[in-house]
Amino acid sequence: MNVPYIVSLAYQYADNLAFLLLAALGLMIILGVIDVINLAHGELIMLGAYTTTLAYHRAHLPLPACVLLSFIGVGAFGMLLERTVIRRFYRDKLGALVATWGISLLLSQGMLLFLGPSLIAVPLPEWTLSYAGYSFGGYRLLLFGASILVVLLAWWIFYRTKFGVRTRATMQNPAMAQALGVDTRRIYLYTFAAGSALAGLTGGLYAPTTTIVPLMGTTFVDVAFITVVVGGGANPILGALTSSALLASISAPLSSVFGTFMGRIGLLLTALVIIRFLPRGLSGYFQDLQRRRMAGARS
């Protein structure tokens, strides 16, 4: 084990971590706050990628502006979805799942009819760093940085703003929050919009790295679903962070040695084992741990 090899492993780990984190965070925030799973999350990522790609090629905007447009545009679309569909299913979680699945079919097939089987991708910015014979994609490192920034931002909103306090109150006890004057419907609307905007951002950020096809969402959601299951909805930010940190440590070595497919298998098996023992995921486990520690401290 020499230093360059370790650096290369760390790079792959960071790359995997960023992907899992960005793919899952929006979904997880929606689950944590609204307790609804949005099965159209992958298609929202696809919309983000399409927005960036179209804005880049047709409007000739610089890439950062395209990504920002994806963030805002898909967020607005999420708001529309919440108002028209999601809102009706707050009392019926499995119903929400099935309805959003219908939306996902409509979006991917609609896009196929509307814009054809594929778009020409945004060229990948060619920044490379070399170190002792290994070369690292600069854009990949930038994605890692972006994922960390996004988590920090989400954390700041959640724990340091008035909106965050109200959101956490709603998570704990919606009826109580409502009685204290929190407009929970508005919290749900903004949360769903934020989760969708994160999907748009993810799509925009990854647009230069993949082929832009209507079904591209599925390559994000299978790992996103596993990350969500392992993380649990008890605390979305902590859950997303710990879950992707754990899962990246499994998928990075597996996929670099045996290929992407074995990486995915490893993730699914990890998820099965985790839920067998921690049915509420990592964040649920941490929550229980914290409660127990508090109980110990007071006695």
Partner 1 sequence: MSSPVEREPLLRVEGLTKAFGGIRAVDELNLAVAAGELRCLIGPNGAGKSTLFSLLSGIHQPDAGRIVFKGEDITELSPFRRVRKGICLKFQTTRIYRGLMVGENLTIARGKVRGTNGRLEWALGVLGLAGETARPAGELSHSHQQWLEICLALATEPELLLLDEPTAGMTPEETALTADFVIKLSGQGVTILVVEHDMAFVRHIARGVTVLHYGRVFADGTLEEIEANHEVRRIYLGEQ
Partner 2 sequence: MRGPLGIFSRVGGRQDLGRGAAFWVAFAIVALGLVAFPLFGSAFYLSNLANFFVYVPMGLGLCLLWGYGGILSFGQAAFFGISGYVYGIVAQNLSLTPGASLLGVAAAILATVIVAALFGYFVFYGQVSAWIIPLLTLVLSLILETFMAQTAGYQWRIGHVLLGGYNGMTGIPSIQVGPLEFGGASIALYLLTVIAMLLGYLGLRLLVNSHFGYVVVGVRDDVERTRMLGYNVARMQVTVFALAAGLAGLSGVLYVSWGNYINPSSMGLYAATLPVIWTAVGGRSSLIAVTLSTVALKWLADSLAVRGGEYAFLIMGALLLATMLFFPAGIVVSLNRLWRRARRQAP
| Helix, strand, coil distribution of the chain in percent, nearest 5 | 80, 5, 15
Q: Which stretch binds partner 1 (CB under 8 A): 2-10, 51-59, 240-248, 291-299?
A: 291-299
Angle 3-34/236-258 helices, nearest 10 degrees?
140
- Give the Cα separation of 135 and 154 in Å (integer): 32
Contact map string, positions 246 to 285, toward partner 1, x by CB under 8 A:
----------------------------------------
Q: Total residues at the site for partner 2 (CB under 8 A)?
A: 44
What is the residue-wise DSSP string for 7-26? HHHHHHHHHHHHHHHHHHHH
Element (H, E) at 134: strand 134-137
The one-letter code for the residue type at 175 is A
Residue 280 sits in the site that holds partner 2 (CB under 8 A): yes
Q: Which stretch binds partner 2 (CB under 8 A): 8-16, 55-63, 132-140, 276-284?
A: 276-284
CB 182 within 8 A of CB 89: no
Q: Which stretch binds partner 2 (CB under 8 A): 44-52, 71-79, 145-153, 219-227?
A: 219-227
Among candidates 169, 265, 205, which has minimal Cα distance to 63?
205
- Give the Cα separation of 72 and 64 in Å (integer): 12
- Give the Cα separation of 118 and 111 in Å (integer): 10
Residue 294 sits in the site that holds partner 1 (CB under 8 A): yes
Residue 175 sits in the site that holds partner 1 (CB under 8 A): no
CB 203 within 8 A of CB 254: no
Least distance from partner 1 to the Cβ atom of residue 294, Å? 4
Residue 298 sits in the site that holds partner 1 (CB under 8 A): yes
Residue closer to partner 1, measured from CB, 211 or 290: 290
Residue 215 sits in the site that holds partner 2 (CB under 8 A): yes
Residue 276 sits in the site that holds partner 2 (CB under 8 A): yes
Q: Which stretch binds partner 1 (CB under 8 A): 6-14, 43-51, 276-284, 290-298?
A: 290-298
Residue closer to partner 1, measured from CB, 61 or 278: 278
- Give the Cα separation of 297 and 295 in Å (integer): 5
Least distance from partner 1 to the Cβ atom of residue 291, Å? 5
> Which of 131, 134, 156, 261 is close enough to bind partner 2 by CB under 8 A?
261
Angle ∠(176,36,82) on CA atoms, nearest 5: 90
End-to-end CA gap in the chain: 49
Q: Total residues at the site for partner 1 (CB under 8 A)?
A: 8
The one-letter code for the residue type at 218 is T
Residues that bind partner 2 (CB under 8 A): 31, 37, 39, 85, 88-89, 92-95, 97-99, 101-106, 108-110, 112-113, 215, 218, 222, 225-226, 228-229, 261, 264-265, 268, 271-273, 275-280
Residues that bind partner 1 (CB under 8 A): 291-292, 294-299
